A and B are shown apart, each in its own frame.
Chain A
Amino acid sequence: MTNIIIHTFLALLMPPLLLGVIAKTKAAFGGRVGAPFLQPYYDILRLLHKGSVFSTTTTWVFRAGPIVALATTAVAALLMPFGAHPAPISFSGDMILYAYLFALGRFFTMAAALDTGSSFEGMGSAREATYSCLAEPTLFFALITLSRLSGSYSLSQMLANVTPGAWLYAGASLLLLIGGMFIVLLVENCRIPFDDPNTHLELTMIHEVMVLDHSGPAFGIIQYAAALKLFVLGAFFIHLALPFATGNAYLDWGVFIASMLLLAVVIGVVESVMARLRLVRIPQLLVAATILAAFSTLLIIR
């Protein structure tokens, strides 16, 4: 019970902190002091107290976008185990629901963007649709590999099975998987080198351009949902990359929090040292990620 409370508590409160850590890392690389770690929280709170502007062309679909995006990510957070602790809800096949929940959120975000009738937002949603479609098979290859390794069909057991011991006999496979999943993590969360969450008015953007017309509380909800998505997908990733458990329940939560912060630093470093890719390169890299994951599956099934 305590674990479920801590799980919910972390999922509710910690996500914006990751954004703060990423921004701080980038500032450090740029030789700046940077905004405080808690800046994303201030931003979201301030947005919740601002007025809204709705475009006259929009219908209720536009308002459903942020709501569904946050609701789906929140439910996905309940299916994802954090660190060594199992998820609050877990059943056979929950990994498929997990993958498809994001599709639902994405569908409504794209529909909300198209509802504004803006060519920029249409462009963003067309790109989002294509790139996420290409990222989908990678996630499934990863799920296959993990399911085969653990002999289980639920996320909690699949991910709990990745231990330093598993690395010893399936190291090659897991290494390939980490490569593939890191690309998916960056694409799904619109990070550099695929997308840039900080530029707003460029033709090369994907996610941010879809939410140009959302303002006030709606934009706050979107920011929070994006942070939560990074948190949930990040939790998946650190299961693969940093599979450490101490055995002590409270210490494990500490390990989990530290790993998540480390992941944020790594993302910040990647964002600092890399330039954005040209748009035509993105599909190629996504297919490369799929092939990495497919290799890892073949290695483990053979």
Chain B
Amino acid sequence: MYSFPQGFPDPAILAIIAALITGCAGIPGLFLRTAGAGQVIAVGMQMLAALLGIPAALALLFARATVTYTLNWGLPFGPCELAIDPLSAFFLLPVFAVGAAGSLFAVGYWPAAAHRSSERGLTFFFGLLTSSMALLVMARNGVFFLMTWEIMALSAYFLLVTEHEREDVRRAGILYLIATHTGSAALLVFFSLLVARTGSFLLPAAGSLSALPPMMMSVAVAALLGFGAKAGIMPLHVWLPSAHANAPSHVSAMMSGVMLKMGLYGIFRTLTFFHDPPLLWGAVLTVAGITSALAGIAFASAQHDLKRLLAYSSIENIGIITTALGVAMLGYSSHSHTLAYLGLAAALLHILNHSLFKPLLFLGSGVVIHATGTRDMNLMGGLGKRMPKAALLFLVGVVAICGIPPLNGFVSEFLLYLGLFSQLQGSSLAYIVLLAPALALVGGLAVISFTKLYGSVFLGTPRNSAAAHGHEAGATMLMPMGFFALCCVVIGLFPQFALGLISPALASFMPMATAAAGQSSEYMTILGRLSLLGILLLAASAAIALFWSLRLQRLPVLSAATWGCGYQRATARMQYVASSFSEIAISVFDGIIRQRSERPVLSGLFPRPARCVDLPSETVLERIITPAFTVAGSAFAFLRRLQHGQMHVYMIYIFATLFILMIWAH
């Protein structure tokens, strides 16, 4: 057991205190009269929590030890155990970072002065969400886990419906609530089965279960449904696009950057219980992952709602992480340590990366929406001139999320590619290398989606007056973005340190994979080369820029309108808009992406003004889930009689159910 230096407080206690501080961050605001005071206090408390929690989590991570606390809470579910192992500590990092950054962003984005009625609830539930996720990764008691899970799900719901006066927000809220509770129901089954197996509500210790009994297959399916629904793995993603699009932007950042990861954390944690996961599990995760990645990014390329595009790209990134995890499990089950190591390193690093660049992009989208008052990219344009700082930070996020060098998104995909190629010489798993071209296609589609996003929002000329009057965001909004952008650049340029950061979590998750040591240092060297080439690339760019600017000083430089190929009266409306940019890609991927198009019919010599609508459809939701719910709704219509809105009768139901269950148990 690692002992922490004398004189320092125990980091595990600090992390728990930090989690509790974030939970209380919104409470003062509920009682203060002065508008905005509560918000500022909340920022202070979240910052304090981050300053305590992040170093504590790092200390716990590098200590490579598990610290356990037991709380006797007097409930009939056994003692409540809180434990922080390197895996938990790793997941704590984004919770505290995004919590602090998001609450700072809210000061500029959702100022109390302009939103008196909604600001208090927003601040309160944002703190609660942060806190519940921090406690979630520490929970080792099944019931406590479910409690924090529900607090997380419900506070996210209240955050999402902040603007509940809008119809589409309410619809998104209901959809989210149904989806999350379907997931929770699966988790209830999952924990019940575990209790039936182990006889205790404590989560099983690492490697203590065997996956051989047939019951374990149901455990795995329940876990995949419950955690997969939260993570947004296709086809369980239906709630995700509308929820992310309709929440306030810092909430979207929190949901996408951190809350989806809680679903992944659940999958990771579940996998630690078993010492012999079958090959099938890895295969299922891999297939689910690559499907999510491909379909997610294909849908993203069709969107013209800024935040929906980002939401679909979250599905893609979760897909990449799940693929990497699935590949790692395949390697684990077939005793191929290199594959297990690389897949897991890619999964963990991509979790970290996605929780940096996705909040950056969602916060950036908040800045854009704040400036233009719309989410429709077809109406934006030219914001790069009006908000140069936000545009630069957003560009960092865009390059990072496309997974192109020299930023961090590339590093994790690079590790995954290395893993896929590593099995090429063997015979049993050689075919997984066929995932590499699929991943390359995902990368290409990501470039389409994000060139379209960046081009139609920040470049060109404004397409409506709101975009023309956009203004630079305030410091409170730019600072959190700057923090995330800096992290992206640092990890991208010095990936070897990022590998060092994730290796304790990796070792605790899969001791076998790293036990075949020497690997870690081998990949450190390779990532060192990557770092060298990244710096070389920057140096080459700087040299060319210098050469060019020297030439420009000696030669005449003129300013003129864009060359219109001889046409003199070009207007902003003639530019390529977001929808036209992706049209050609949509026509190629016709089978997957479907659009509802309404084209005006022109008639007469002087046609009237007409509307032209292209709406990308939510294939899974509209074709499968909604019809299924309609059928279920009419089939179970008779049950409606039980539900009549009288509270005392509901209490009788609960009492009667409990009574019957107790008699049955005896």
Contacts and interface: CB of A to CB of B under 8 A. Distances in A.
Interface of A: 48-61, 63, 66-68, 70-72, 74-75, 78-79, 89, 91-94, 96-97, 99-101, 103-104, 106-107, 110-111, 114-120, 122-123, 125-127, 129-130, 132-134, 136-141, 143-144, 147-148, 151, 153, 201, 212-213, 216-218, 221, 283, 290, 294, 297, 301
Given A53-B560, A56-B560, A140-B437, A115 B384 contact: yes
Which one of B540, B545, B572, B576 has the greatest number of beta carbons of chain A within 10 Å?
B576
Contact of A92 (B405, B418, B552, B556): B418
A115 B448 contact: no
Nearest 10 CB-CB pairings of A with B? A122-B576, A133-B444, A114-B455, A117-B460, A51-B556, A137-B437, A71-B540, A71-B541, A55-B562, A115-B459
A93 B395 contact: no
A49 B544 CA distance: 16
Contacts of A74: 540
B445 interface: yes
Contacts of A139: 440
Contacts of A132: 444, 447
Interface string B560-586: 111111100010101110001111110
29 contacts: A55-B559, A56-B562, A59-B385, A59-B388, A61-B384, A61-B395, A68-B541, A94-B529, A97-B533, A103-B404, A107-B402, A111-B454, A111-B455, A115-B459, A115-B460, A118-B575, A122-B455, A122-B460, A125-B451, A125-B576, A126-B581, A126-B585, A129-B447, A130-B584, A148-B433, A151-B425, A153-B418, A217-B555, A221-B544
Contact of A129 (B404, B421, B585): B585
A53 B570 CA distance: 18
A205 B395 CA distance: 27
A97 B530 contact: yes
Contacts of B575: 117-119, 122
Contacts of B454: 111, 114
Given A97-B405, A153-B418, A103 B447 contact: yes
A57 B537 contact: no
B581 A122 contact: yes
A136 B444 contact: yes
Contact of A100 (B410, B536, B559, B561): B410
A251 to B, nearest CB: 31
Contact of B563 (A55, A68, A127): A55
Contact of B536 (A59, A75, A138, A140): A75
Contact of A201 (B434, B529, B565, B576): B565
B451 A114 contact: yes
Interface residues of B, dominant DSSP: helix
Given A71-B540, A130-B448, A301-B431, A57 B404 contact: no
B446 to A, nearest CB: 9
Contact of B580 (A56, A122, A213): A122
Contacts of B565: 118, 120, 201, 212
B433 A144 contact: yes
Interface of B: 381-382, 384-385, 388, 391, 395, 399, 402-406, 410, 414, 417-418, 421-422, 424-425, 430-431, 433-434, 436-441, 443-445, 447-448, 451-452, 454-456, 458-461, 525-526, 529-530, 533, 536-537, 540-541, 544-545, 548, 551-552, 555-566, 570, 572, 574-576, 580-585, 588
Nearest to A294: B437
A168 to B, nearest CB: 21
Given A59-B459, A125-B455, A51 B581 contact: no
Given A117-B460, A118-B575, 13 more contacts: A51-B557, A55-B559, A56-B559, A74-B540, A75-B536, A91-B525, A96-B417, A101-B405, A117-B461, A122-B460, A122-B575, A127-B584, A137-B437
